[in-house]
Structure 1
Amino acid sequence: MKQERDAIPLIITGICCIFGTIACLWYYGYLHFAKPEDALELKEFTMLKTIPGQDYKISVDAASEVAQCIDGVVVLFDTEQKGLSGVLVNGSKQAVHCLGQETPQQLQP
């Protein structure tokens, strides 16, 4: 006696398991769906070029952002809004890279 199994309940069970797993991961914060507003420019930064012998003025108060080198890219963390972080980019949306704790040196040809 050969029994044929109906595959539709197995397929529906598999699809429900996949959606249930995604919903569970999203609920507990392991899965994040990026939205366009997640990539908004929050603040604008300006680089002050230092020239030997020339004075420049900066504010005594510290900024609310703290920078850290992670995987060779400058990542900014906001100290006022917990959990807010971002990658520092230039005007062309290219990530600003860092060399760890070293001071960059000009290479001699």
Structure 2
Amino acid sequence: MSEQRNAIPLILTGIASVIGTVLVLWYYGYVHFAKEEDALLLAEFTMLKTVPGEDYKMSLKPARQVAQCFDGILVLFDTEQKGLTGVLVDDKKQAVRCMGQETPRRSVPRQLPRP
């Protein structure tokens, strides 16, 4: 008795399962669909050089980002979009370091004594 099964319900169930899985992962925060406004470009930041005897102007309103040092690297946190963090880099993608903290160094592998 060879019985033929209709494959269409199996295909639709598989597609629905994949879509449902992605939606559940997105709801719980395991999948994030990046938007253009989520990115902070380096061009949005400018360094004001302070020269003795010269005045410079800046806004009294603080930026949306807050900076903190982690292992000698400046990390930015966005105060409006929870969970949005980034590392401040220059045009060569080199991380901006923090003053007053040790720069992370490559660790030299230690040789363990042989028994």
Q: Which has the higher contact order (CA 8 A, sep 6+)?
A: 2
Structure 1: gaps (5+ residues): 49-54, 56-62
Structure 2: gaps (5+ residues): 53-62, 106-115
TM-score by length of 2: 0.54
> Where does residue 102 of structure 1 map in the other structure?
102
Distance in 2 (CA, whole Å) between partners of 1:11 and 1:104 is 52
Identity %: 48
What are the within-5 Å matches in structure 2 for residues 15-34 of structure 1? 15-34=15-34
SS at match of 1:32: coil
Whether the aligned pair in 1 keeps the contact of 2:67 and 2:74 (CA below 8 Å) is no
Q: How large is the RMSD of aligned CA atoms in angstroms?
A: 3.7
- Structure 1 position 25, deviation (Å): 1.4
Distance in 2 (CA, whole Å) between partners of 1:40 and 1:103 is 24
- Structure 1 position 82, deviation (Å): 6.0
> Where does residue 69 of structure 1 map in the other structure?
70
* Alignment: residue pair count: 89
